[in-house]
Structures are given as C-alpha cells and as structure tokens.
C-alpha cells in the first residue's frame, strides 16, 4: 500500500499534540504514552513493511535507547533533547554490527537472530549492576535540561508529538527517496535488484540501522516519560506487542502502524480495567482484524473510502 499524504499525517500529529491542552491530566498522560508507542511501531514498519524483515527482537533497540538516555540524564545531567538524539545515535551505532550479522539471513532465521540479540541485551543489563542497576533498573530519571514549560505533563506531550512528527518525516523521506525505491526493488525481487548492481545486504543494513535509530529515540522518550527503566523493556513480549501494532494498523503504510499502536494501547488499557482476561479479548480483536482486514486498519479505511 502506498503511504498516506504526509500533510494529513502531520496534521493529525499536530492535533494530537494540541489535545494535551484540552484533555484532563490522566488522559493526556495516556495519550503521551500512546504517541511514544506510535513512534516505536513506526520504526518497526521500516523493517516489516518496507524491507520485509520480520523482527521478533525489536524490544532491543527500544530498551537500549531507554537505558542510554536514562543513564545520560541521571548520571551526567545531559539535557533531554540531546540525550534522546544521542541515545538514537548510540542505538544506530550498535545496530551496524548486529545488523551486519542479521541481514545476511532472512525469514525465520532473521526473526530468531533479532530475538537472540534482544535477550542478550536483557542478560547484559541484569548482570551489569554498577551501570544499569541490575534487575532493579534505573529509577528517578529526571527530564534534565528542560524548562518548566516543557518538563510538565502538557509540555512533554508536545515535545513527544514534535519528535513523532520529525521521525515520520525522516521515515517518509527515506521510503520515497531513490534509496527507498531500491529497498522496494530488493524486497520485491532480490535477484533482479542484484543484477542491476545493488547490494541487497547493504540496502537491508541501511534500513535496519534507520529502524534501530528511530526505535532508540522512542525508548529514550519513554525513559523521560516514565522516569524509570528496567530489564523488562527487553522482554520478548514487548517485541510481540509492537509487531501486533504494525500488523493491526497495516504494514508498509507508516501511518497504519501508528494507528495500530493507538488502537492496541487503548484497547489494552480499557479491557484490562474491565476484566482480568483482557488478553483473551485483545487476541480475539486481533484475529477479527486479520480475518476481515488482512491489510490492517488502513487497508480497511482505504477499502471503504
């Protein structure tokens, strides 16, 4: 599916940002977390929807970005916007050797390798007590360097919306660029793209690094939002949830995974308040979407419009 009009997406993100000044405090907090998850899902869509690389370990860059930003703000007082960007760059740097190994494979092997590296990250942060806090994690992470107007609930929500808009522009610019069209060519016919002189592994590695960069930024924003990071951020269930968000919204559309993140987050929140068996009903919702909207919610919207 072709991406949505970027002007419409940016308008929707802007409206979501303005809602912070209209909604009650609790609702604003929930929406802030939902927008961070939307950025997380957007990052995975580059792999799943555009490079056709299914990752079972996308919690890895998310958690790494959170830990890097949390440590920088907690230990060295690095201003939050710089900590977020540095965490994204640090995650992207680590993605180069990891991606070099992963993109040499595909299919189930790629999925399992990505999961293995995420679990390795979990083991490292649990054992490295002096830096990561071990199983207790890092608590009391400040929103360092932010003026009072941005450190508050509404201001931080607006900051998250700005980062989400910027991340969307980066992702959209990438997939519509000549390099993005090469990514599509490799996805559709690797042998033909290689015959034309393109290196499929190098192309996939580029997508992999960009995806990890954006996931690291999402994790860093979550660290500033929650004020706490723990090894549970590396769990395979986190990777499963974000993969469901992408499929639910519609892989390959950019806006679809963001929409899927919002639907998944609010469905989980509302159902968990109603019943302890919320996972069952959430699973049924996902099954219904897969059956009646195999291209996700965005595919359903475009089919009915």
185: CATH:
1.10.3470
Q: What angle do CA 113, 117, 123 make, to 5 degrees?
A: 140
Residue-number span of the structural domain to which 28 is assigned: 6-304
- Rounded CA-CA distance 209/213 in Å is 6
Within-domain flag for 1: no
Inter-residue contact 53 to 47 (CB < 8 Å)? yes
- Rounded CA-CA distance 32/34 in Å is 5
Going by the DSSP 8-state scheme, the letter that residue 22 receives in this structure is: T
Within-domain flag for 205: yes
Which residue carries 């291209």 as its tokens? 295
Which residues on adjacent β-strands are paired with residue 139? 228
For the CA atoms of the chain, what is the radius of gyration?
19
What pLDDT does 301 receive?
Answer: 79
Q: Which structure tokens are listed for 60?
A: 């890895």
Cα dihedral across residues 110, 223, 23, 270: positive or negative: positive
Stretch 36-50: mean pLDDT: 97
Within-domain flag for 269: yes
Express the helix, strand and coil content of the chain in percent, nearest 5 each: 80, 0, 20
- Indicate the pLDDT class of residue 305, thresholds 50, 70 and 90: low
Within-domain flag for 72: yes
**Backbone phi and psi for residue 253, each to the nearest 5 degrees, phi listed first:** -115, -10
Element (H, E) at 236: helix 236-249
Going by the DSSP 8-state scheme, the letter that residue 5 receives in this structure is: P
Stretch 133-142: mean pLDDT: 93
Inter-residue contact 230 to 63 (CB < 8 Å)? no
Q: Which of 27-36, 219-228, 286-295 has the lowest mean pLDDT?
A: 286-295
Three-class DSSP category at 67: helix
Choose between 2 and 283: higher pLDDT.
283
What pLDDT does 223 receive?
Answer: 97
Percentage with pLDDT > 90 across the chain: 77
Going by the DSSP 8-state scheme, the letter that residue 139 receives in this structure is: E
Within-domain flag for 48: yes
Number of domains within the chain: 1
What pLDDT does 272 receive?
Answer: 87
């Amino acid at each position: 599916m072709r991406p949505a009009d970027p002007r419409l997406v940016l308008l929707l993100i802007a409206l979501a940002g303005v809602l912070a000044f209209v909604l009650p405090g609790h609702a604003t907090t929930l929406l802030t977390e939902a927008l961070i998850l939307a950025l997380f899902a957007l990052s995975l869509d580059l792999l799943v929807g555009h490079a056709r690389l299914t990752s079972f370990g996308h919690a890895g860059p998310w958690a790494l970005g959170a830990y890097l930003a949390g440590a920088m703000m907690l230990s060295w007082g690095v201003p939050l916007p710089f900590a977020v960007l540095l965490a994204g760059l640090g995650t992207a740097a680590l993605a180069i050797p990891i991606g070099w190994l992963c993109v040499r494979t595909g299919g189930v092997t790629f999925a399992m390798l990505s999961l293995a590296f995420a679990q390795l990250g979990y083991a490292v942060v649990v054992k490295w007590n002096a830096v990561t806090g071990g199983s207790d994690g890092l608590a009391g992470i400040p929103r360092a360097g932010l003026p009072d107007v941005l450190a508050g609930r509404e201001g931080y929500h607006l900051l998250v919306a700005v980062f989400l808009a910027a991340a969307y522009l980066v992702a959209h610019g990438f997939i519509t660029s000549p390099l993005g069209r090469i990514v599509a060519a490799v996805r559709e016919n690797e042998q033909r793209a290689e015959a034309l002189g393109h290196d499929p592994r190098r192309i996939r590695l580029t997508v992999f690094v960009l995806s990890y960069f954006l996931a690291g930024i999402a994790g860093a924003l979550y660290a500033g939002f929650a004020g706490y990071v723990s090894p549970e951020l590396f769990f395979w269930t986190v990777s499963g949830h974000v993969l469901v968000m992408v499929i639910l919204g519609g892989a390959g559309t950019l806006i679809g995974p963001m929409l899927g993140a919002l639907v998944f987050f609010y469905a989980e929140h509302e159902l968990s308040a109603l019943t302890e068996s919320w996972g069952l009903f959430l699973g049924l919702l996902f099954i219904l979407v897969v059956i009646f909207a195999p291209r996700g919610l965005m595919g359903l919207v475009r089919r009915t419009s």
